[in-house]
Chains A and B, each alone.
Chain A
Amino acid sequence: MTFAVIVFPGSNCDQDAHHATTAVLGQMAEFVWHKEVDLHGADAVIVPGGFAHGDYLRTGAMARFSPIMGAVKTFADRGGPVIGICNGFQVLLEAGLLPGAMLRNRGLTYRCEYIQVRVEQTDTPFTAGAHVGQVLRLPIGHGEGNYYAPPDELERLEARRQVVLRYCAPNGAIDDDANPNGSVHAIAGLCNEQRNVVGMMPHPERACERLLGSVDGLVILESVVKALTSA
C-alpha cells in the first residue's frame, strides 16, 4: 500500500513518517507538497508533525488553507484513513476534520519526553491491531497539546466513543500527574464520528525501532497496513 505524507513549509516529522512506513514497515510512501491538489492515489494519509507555516497565529491555523487540504478532506469524507500526528493533529482540528481545539500546555512549557497512553478504542484503522487497555510508551514534543472541547462537545465525544487514546500512568491508570499538558479527560488522541480520521499528540512514527527507545508506535502504523492490505 502507499501512504501520502503531506509536507507543509515547516513540517519536520515528514521524513520520520516516510522512514517508518517504508524502511520499517516495507510499504510505499510519497511526499505530497502542500500546494498540490491530489494525493497521488495514496491509500492512507499522514499529516505529520512540525510547525506548519511556522505555526504563526495559532498552530495549524494557516495549514488549514493549503491547497492539499481540499483533497485530504475529500479523501476523509469518502472514508479514507487519515492520521494527524502532533502538529498534524492540530491541523486536522483547525480544518474541522476533528472536533475541538488546542490550548497552550497547562504548565506553559514545551514538553519533550516519553509518556504513556492507554488505548481506549480499537475500531479505528489506526488502533485495530491493539487491544483496549493496552499501554503504549510513546514520545511527545509539543507546547500546545492541551486538548479542549466545550462540555457539550466533550459529552458527545465520550458518548460516541471518539476518545482513542488517553494519557496514563505506566500501569494504565488515568492519573492527573501522568497528563503532560492538561488535556480535558486526559485526551491524547481522538477520531471523527466516521472513525476513519484519527489525531494524536504522541509520535508513533518515532517509536518504531528499538534503537530509538520504543517500538510501541508500530501497532498504530501496522494497524492501517493490515486494515488496507487484508481487505
Chain B
Amino acid sequence: MRARVFVTLKPSVFDPQGRTIADALHSLGYGTVSDVRQGKYFELDLETTDAAQAKALAAEVADKLLANPVIESYRVEVD
C-alpha cells in the first residue's frame, strides 16, 4: 500500500516561506490569494495490504521522525 503524509506548520506558527510565496503571487497579480502555507509531502511504500495497519504505521513514523510536534502537524492518507 501507499501512504501519503502531509506535514504542515501548525496554524499558530508563523511560516516565513509561505508568506514570501504569497507576496510573490501578489506581485504576479494574484491578489485574490490571501495567504499561503507551505509544507512537506511524503509517499511511503508499505509492504502491508491492510489499510488500517498502513495508516497506523505512517502515523507512527510521522510522529517519530517526519514531523516535529512542537511546530508541525500532519495528515495521513492511504490507498
Q: Which residues of A contact B (CB under 8 A)?
A: 57-58, 61-62, 65, 93-94, 99-101, 103-108, 146, 148-150, 182
- Cα distance A106–B15 when bound, in Å? 9
Chain B positions within 8 Å of A106 at CB level: 16
Chain B positions within 8 Å of A148 at CB level: 13, 70-71
Chain B residue at minimal CB-CB distance from A62: B65
Closest A-B pairs by Cβ, 4 of them: A101-B70, A101-B71, A104-B16, A101-B68
CB of B41 within 8 Å of the partner chain: no
Chain A positions within 8 Å of B53 at CB level: none
Question: Is the CB–CB distance between B68 and A108 below 8 Å?
Answer: no
- Cα distance A107–B70 when bound, in Å? 21
- Cα distance A57–B41 when bound, in Å? 11
Chain A positions within 8 Å of B70 at CB level: 93, 99-101, 148-150
Question: Is the CB–CB distance between B16 and A61 below 8 Å?
Answer: no
Q: Which residues of B contact A (CB under 8 A)?
A: 9, 12-14, 16-17, 20, 40, 65-66, 68, 70-71
Question: Is the CB–CB distance between B17 and A104 below 8 Å?
Answer: yes
CB of A185, distance to nearest CB on chain B (Å):
14
Question: Is the CB–CB distance between A57 and B66 below 8 Å?
Answer: yes
Listed by A's residue number, 25 A-B pairs whose Cβ atoms lie within 8 Å are: A57-B40, A57-B65, A58-B68, A61-B65, A62-B65, A65-B65, A93-B70, A100-B70, A101-B68, A101-B70, A103-B9, A103-B14, A103-B16, A104-B16, A104-B17, A105-B16, A108-B16, A108-B17, A146-B16, A148-B70, A148-B71, A149-B70, A150-B12, A182-B14, A182-B16
Contact of B68 among A61, A65, A105 (CB under 8 A): A61
- Cα distance A57–B42 when bound, in Å? 11
- Cα distance A100–B13 when bound, in Å? 12
Question: Is the CB–CB distance between B71 and A103 below 8 Å?
Answer: yes
Chain B positions within 8 Å of A101 at CB level: 68, 70-71
Chain A residue at minimal CB-CB distance from B40: A57
- Cα distance A93–B71 when bound, in Å? 12
Chain A positions within 8 Å of B9 at CB level: 103
Chain A residue at minimal CB-CB distance from B12: A150
- Cα distance A65–B64 when bound, in Å? 10
CB of A180, distance to nearest CB on chain B (Å):
13
Chain A positions within 8 Å of B14 at CB level: 103, 182
Chain A residue at minimal CB-CB distance from B69: A101
Chain A positions within 8 Å of B66 at CB level: 57
- Cα distance A108–B15 when bound, in Å? 10
Given the known interface contacts A104-B17, A106-B16, the answer about A94 and B68 at a Cβ–Cβ threshold of 8 Å is yes
Extra 9 A-B pairs, beta carbons < 8 Å, given A105-B16, A182-B14: A57-B65, A58-B68, A101-B70, A103-B9, A103-B14, A106-B16, A108-B16, A148-B71, A150-B70
